[in-house]
Amino acid sequence: MNNTEIQSRLISWYDRNKRPMPWRDCGDPYKIWLSEIMLQQTRVDQATPYFNRFIDHFPTVHDLAAADQQEVLKVWEGLGYYSRARNLHSAAKLVVDQFDGKVPDSWDEITELKGVGPYTASAVLSIAFQKKYAVVDGNVIRVLSRYYGIEENVRETKTKNSIQEYADELIPDERPGDFNQAVMELGATVCTPSNPECGECPLQPGCVAFKTVKTDQIPYKSKKKKRPHHHIGVGIIKQPGDDKVLIALRPDDAMLGGLWEFPGGKQEPGEELPETVKRELHEELGVEVSIVKPFMKLDHAYSHFKITMHAYLCELQSGTPRPQSSQEVRWISIEKLADVPFPKANRRLTEKLMNLNKGQQELEI
C-alpha cells in the first residue's frame, strides 16, 4: 500500500468507527488540550468522567486560571500523576496572562506550556488547529511498528525517532488531526497489545507483522525492572472527645505534591510498625504520640513501587505538631475530610473514618 491508500483507509475506517468522546469534534482548543493532558498514560474510559467533572468546574481556561490549586487537585483527585494538574493549572495562568486567554497555535508557543511535550503539542496543534504535526504515542508505536515490521526495542529513543519519521511521512495535508486520531483509535480498539483483531483492520493487507505472524512479538519492549515493596506506618492522631484528626500537606515538588496525607513513613529494618509510626511522627511533626490501636491495613501500587500501609489510631502525648517535612499541618473534622484532596491509599483511610463517624461508631479505644 502506498501512503495515499494508507491515509484514505485509515480516515475512512475512523469516520465509520470512532468512539464518541466529549472533547471529540468539539473544536474547543481548551477542551482538546485538557483531554490530551488527562489522556497521558491514561485510558479514554478512565479519563472521561474526570474530563466531564473538570469541565463542569472549570468551563473555560479563565475559570481554571482563576481557581485555587487545591480546588484543581480536588477535581483531579483519583486520576493520578498529579503534576499534570499542577502543570496544567500553571499553564492556564500563562495562557490567560501571556496569550490573551487563547491556547497557542504554534509549536514554539504551545511547548512553552508546562506539561506540553512533543506528543501533546502535536495532538493539540493537529486536532484543534488542523496543523500538520504527527503524533507518536503508545498506540502509534504499536500500529506503525507492526505495520512496518520494526523489531527494534521501542523503549529506545532511536526507535521512537524512527517511528516519528514514518509518522511524519504518513500524515496527510487534509485532516491531519483526524488522521492522528485514526491511528490512535485503531491502536486502542483493533491493533491492541494482545489479541489484536487483524480481521477488522483496514491496514491488514500491508501489515508486515500480520503477514509474518509476528503481532505477538512486535512491538518488542525490554523488560521493566520490578517494583520494590515497602511497609508504611502512618498515624491518625485524634484526641479523646474531639472529632478532629491531623493531616499534613505534601510539598509541591514531592510525589503526590499538593495533596494531603496522614503523616507516616517507611518501616526500617528491625523496627516494629508502632515504632515506625512514633519515629516518623516525631521526625515529621516534632511530637510524641502513643499508639491507641491498629486502624486499617491496605495494599497499594504506585508507578514505581508498592506498599502495604498500616494505619494506627494515635493520641498526642507531648508537643505541638509543626510541619517539618510538609508544607502545612491541619486539624480537620472527620466529615470535612471529603473536601480536601487525598491520594488513593490515604483516601481509603478517610473513607473508613467517615463511615465509622457517620454510623456513630466509637473511634476511641
User: Which residues make up the interface to DNA (CB under 7 A)?
Assistant: 21, 24, 35-36, 39-46, 78-83, 87, 114-121, 123, 137-139, 141-142, 156-158, 181, 184-185, 187-188, 193-195, 221, 223-224, 226, 254-256, 300-304, 343-345
Grid coordinates representing 25?
A: 469534534
Q: Which residues participate in the annotated binding site for Mg(2+)?
A: 264, 284
Cβ at position 354, least distance to DNA in Å: 17
CB-wise, 16 or 224, nearer to DNA?
224
CA distance 171 to 135: 9
For the chain, state the CA radius of gyration: 25
Determine the angle formed by the axes of helices 29-38 and 118-129, rounding to 10 degrees. 150
CA distance 171 to 179: 7
Tell me which of 36, 77, 185, 280 is the catalytic residue: 36
Give a three-class secondary structure readout of 298-326. Answer: EEEECCCCEEEEEEEEEEEEECCCCCCCC
CB-wise, 211 or 306, nearer to DNA?
306
Cβ at position 233, least distance to DNA in Å: 18
CB-wise, 17 or 239, nearer to DNA?
17
CA distance 1 to 237: 67
CB-wise, 26 or 291, nearer to DNA?
26
Cβ at position 13, least distance to DNA in Å: 14
Cβ proximity of 142 and 136 under 8 Å? no
Identify the helix (H) or strand (E) that includes residue 332: strand 328-333
DSSP class of residue 153?
B
CA distance 134 to 55: 27
Q: Which residues participate in the annotated binding site for 8-oxo-dGTP?
A: 250, 261-264, 346
CA distance 277 to 161: 48
315 is catalytic: no
Cβ proximity of 312 and 291 under 8 Å? yes
Q: Which residues participate in the annotated binding site?
A: 250, 261-264, 284, 346
Cβ at position 218, least distance to DNA in Å: 11
Cβ at position 229, least distance to DNA in Å: 8
CB-wise, 89 or 278, nearer to DNA?
89
Nearest residue to 191 (alpha-carbon basis) of 177, 207, 168, 178: 207
Q: How far is CA 74 from CA 21, 180, 231, 253, 353, in A?
A: 23, 32, 27, 17, 19
DSSP class of residue 331?
E
Cβ at position 290, least distance to DNA in Å: 29
Three-state secondary structure call for residue 357:
helix
CB-wise, 214 or 282, nearer to DNA?
214
DSSP class of residue 228?
P
- Catalytic annotation, residues: 36
